[in-house]
Structure 1
């Protein structure tokens, strides 16, 4: 049974998403992130892609070099980090990180937000991704 990682801090979606990809707990991934000078309180974690890329790279996981514009759910690779809930603060873009997975023909999103009734989401019409990062060899 798939058990999604829930973020333990309001701004910990990037850390939780990487934990979901790598199969780690939130506290394990937070320790790795902190050792890399990455902290959930740093707003850059959800306004800059280099932090999640760095955490994945340190585990030997490759990502697409660029953010790829979202076209449709069917066009996504089998594993991707998605940016949803886009908004701006003081002219800077921010988003919420989630993980898209396609496994045995099933498509779902692992959303680490603690307020959700279920963190395995299939309500695709409710999420409006702007772009994604393909995750390879995870």
Structure 2
């Protein structure tokens, strides 16, 4: 699985969904917009419903619940993760990333454009709050 770079400052949910679906950001954005999902909508990174709807459109099944993060070793082989979790005016916000374990190697696909590498293995720096297991 390859990282997809977000083309909008608030497009991490669209980019994470695109990475899981194996498509470009532009293609995922077109499909998201057709469903009424836009990167500028703060619900995309303060609620899970939009990302769940987009993944369903892509035929990707995810757990109906968010599971509190305990350790990297306990994560499933594929998961959507909430990092940089914070409260702003009583509302939660986070940055979406994808965790994947392939061929015995664990990595985080981070869509942030400014990163030197969008494939992250600096797990000690990443502070996940919770994750959603990706089934297929």
Smaller-chain TM-score bracket: over 0.9
1:3 Cα deviation (Å)? Answer: 3.9
Match of 2:17 in 1: 18
Q: Distance in 1 between matches of 2:58 and 2:11?
A: 19
Q: Write the distance in 1 (CA, Å) between the matches of 2:26 and 2:113.
A: 15
Runs of 4+ in 1 over 2 A off after TM superposition: none
- Cα separation, partners in 2 of 1:119 and 1:61, compared to 1, 3 Å: same
Q: TM-score, with normalisation over the residues of structure 1?
A: 0.96
| Structure 1 residue ranges without an equivalent (≥5) | none
Structure 2 counterpart SS, 1:98: strand
Q: 1:6-62, CA deviations, whole angstroms, 9 ceiling, x for partnerless residues?
A: 000000000000000000100000000000000000011000001111111112211
Corresponding residue SS for 2:13:
helix
Asked if 1:102 is matched to 2:130, the reply is no
Counterparts of 1:60 and 1:29, CA distance in 2? 13
Instruction: Identify the residue that residue 116 of structure 1 maps to in structure 2.
Output: 115
Tell me the SS of whatever aligns to 2:6: coil
Q: Which runs of 5+ in 2 are unaligned?
A: none
Q: Give the paired residue count.
A: 136
Which residue of 2 is the match for residue 59 of structure 1?
58
What SS does the corresponding residue of 1:126 show, helix, strand or coil?
Answer: coil
Contact 2:2 2:109 in 1 (8 A): no
What SS does structure 2 have at the residue aligned with 1:123? coil
Question: So what's the TM-score if we normalise by structure 2?
Answer: 0.98
1:35 aligns with 34
- Say what the alpha-carbon RMSD is for the aligned residues: 0.8
